[in-house]
Structure formats: C-alpha cells, structure tokens
Structure 1
Amino acid sequence: MTSEPGKEINAKTYILYSIGGAIALILITFPFGGVAPLDEPKVYASDGAYYNLGVPVGISFIAFINLLIFIVSSILFWGSKGLFKNLIIDSSALSFVFLNYFNYYVLWLVWHPQITVLPFLFLIKYNGASAIQVDFGQMVLIAYIYRIIKRARRPRPLSGLESVKPVDESPQPGGVQ
C-alpha cells in the first residue's frame, strides 16, 4: 500500500484504508445473511401484523461474523507492526460497529420498540416488556478509537533520515577503553 517498504502512512490515509476495508468486509460477509440459522418461521404473526424475521436475523448474523473476525484478529495480530494485519483488526471493528447499529435500526423499523441507548447497554421496551442488552458496538468502537489515537501519537522518523543509521559509539569488546 505504500511505495517504500519501511515508510508508514499517515493517520488520515490509514482511516480511509480502514473504512474501505470495512466496506469490503461488509460486502464479503453480506451474502452469509441468507444462511442465518432461524428457529422460528421467517414470517411471524403478532396482533394481526406480520413481521419478517429474516432481515433482522440475517443482519445480526453477519454482524456476529464480523465481531468474530475482530476478536480473532485482535488476539492474533494486536501488537503487530504490519499494515495489513492492523487493517484487518480495524476494518473488522468498523464493519461490526456499522452492522450492529444498522441491526438496531432495522429492529426499530420492524417492531417500533422504544430503544434507549445507555453506556454499554441498550434498554429495549416493547409491548410492556423490557430487556437490557449489552452494546458490544460501543466497546468495539472504543477499542478502534484507542487504536487510532495510539497510531496517531506514535513517533515517526523525520523526513530524509529513514536511510541514516545511528553510529554505535559504545565501547567494543577487546578495544581500548
């Protein structure tokens, strides 16, 4: 992605690469939404209305796949200096965050529940029933922002000094000291 093997890209370019990787990852995993395991019938009747469960379950399934990609790549590549390995982590994080909140939006469109966003939680009320769900999207978003800030604050070599190696002036064994 860079023309020189030892040269790193700036933070803005890296964020654009991670957004592009997230879009590519969503497009790659989107067909898996059709094979999502569904215990109930695809069309659910309640109070005289029919709800299609295939779409929310499918989006939830591909969001789960992207979350698994994020977790596995984070475990394997977290401390890596490689650009491609870091892009896998950050692209999967962004794709999961987008799909997570898109899934809650689709749930709101289908059932029209009252959804309250709390720190790390969702409070969902529907037909007198309440449920609290952990919001993994906020957690992954915090990890992504932490990684971007850490990457932006990393010291970079001054331009023109990449090829200059420092001279080792420490005492050499067997020499006069």
Structure 2
Amino acid sequence: MTLGSKAYHEVSTKEYVLYSLAGAVGFVILTLPLAGLAPLDEPKVYAYGNAYYNLGIPVGISFSAFINLMIFIVGVLLFWGSGSLAKNLVIDSSALSFASLNYLNYYLIWYVWHPQMTFLPLFVETRYNGVSALQLDLGQVVLIILVYRLIKRARRPRPQSGLDSVNPVNESPQPGGVQK
C-alpha cells in the first residue's frame, strides 16, 4: 500500500485512526527530547513557601506540545483538503500528539502546584493562592477540529468493490466528428 492519494480513500476509518495514533506516538517520541531546549526565564528549581518547585519538567512538556501545535497549524495551512494519506496523517497525528502533551502538561501543573483547575468548554479556569486565571484551552480546539475531520472522513462515500469500482468509460458522443 502506498501513501498516495488513492490509498487515502481505500483505508478504512478504523485503520486511519490507528495510523493516526501510531503517528501521534511517533511525534511525541520525536518532540519530547526537545523539552530540554525549552527556554526558562527563571531558575529551574525555586523555593516558594516551604516547598521546592522544579519548573523544568512542566515547561519542557509545554515546549514539546508547542512544537506539535506548530506542526499541526502548518499542516492544516498547507495540506487541508489534500487527498494524500501521508499529508492527512501529519495533520491528525500532530493534533493527537499536541492534545496528549497538552493534557499531560495540565496534569503536571496540577501535580506540582496543586491548583484548583476547572475545565470549561474551550477554556480552563485555574485558581492558585486566591488568584484566578481563565485561558483558552487549545487542546479542546484541536480535538474539535480532529473530530470534525474524522466525521467528515467517515461520511465520505467509499468506492464499491468489484467491477463497479472501475471508472466507467465515457461513451457519449465526442465533439469533432466520427467516433472511433
């Protein structure tokens, strides 16, 4: 099987989701080592109250998620509507990898600082030391786009098997005279 445009239509939705999950694991494996390159404006470990906090891990995971988000955005801008299996897998796999790293980052933030986090539609409200912050949850936005793409793909008509799947020959009269 090739990754050309015809293979995209021949792969079932179930197989496509499995390929997307495998691609997401691949993106996570490729971008997670880049977490050590995340820029920190503060010391990696600092004391607050009676505890020491390590910022390196949450900021690194956030940086890896950001790389996957950029791959998703560039993939959507360049490849949306493409019939190629590989190009569509780049979009959907990067979406899954970004969402998984995004929510892993939220878990690590909760684990390290123990803030009160409330997930709202498209937003996350975080409360810590009496201060509230409301931020757009890009993970939900990307997952909505991914679900839309998968539903659209699942509703696409599939070619029939057998002789009906071959494109019929155009037997209508052609302009220009006698038909051969």
Q: TM-score, normalised by structure 2?
A: 0.92
Q: Which runs of 5+ in 2 are unaligned?
A: none
User: Structure 1 CA distance, aligned partners of 2:132 and 2:49?
Assistant: 18
Letter in 2 for 1:120: L
Letter in 1 for 2:99: V
Mapping of residues 26-175 of structure 1, within 5 Å: 26-161=28-163, 164-175=166-177
Structure with higher helix content: 2
Letter in 2 for 1:62: S
Letter in 1 for 2:20: S
User: Structure 1 CA distance, aligned partners of 2:164 and 2:37?
Assistant: 50
Percent of aligned positions with the same letter in both sequences?
65
- 1:135, distance to aligned residue in structure 2 (A): 0.2
Q: Which moved more, 1:47-56 or 1:157-166?
A: 157-166
Consecutive aligned runs of 4 or more in structure 1 exceeding 4 Å deviation? 1-5
- 1:174, distance to aligned residue in structure 2 (A): 2.9
User: Structure 2 CA distance, aligned partners of 1:121 and 1:69?
Assistant: 22
- Larger RCO, structure (CA 8 Å, separation 6 or more): 2
- 1:6, distance to aligned residue in structure 2 (A): 3.5
Q: Which runs of 5+ in 1 are unaligned?
A: none
CA 1:106–1:4: 2 relative to 1, 3 Å: closer
**Over aligned residue pairs, what C-alpha RMSD do you find?**
1.8
User: Structure 1 CA distance, aligned partners of 2:4 and 2:134?
Assistant: 50
Say whether the 8 Å CA contact 2:3–2:86 is kept in structure 1: no
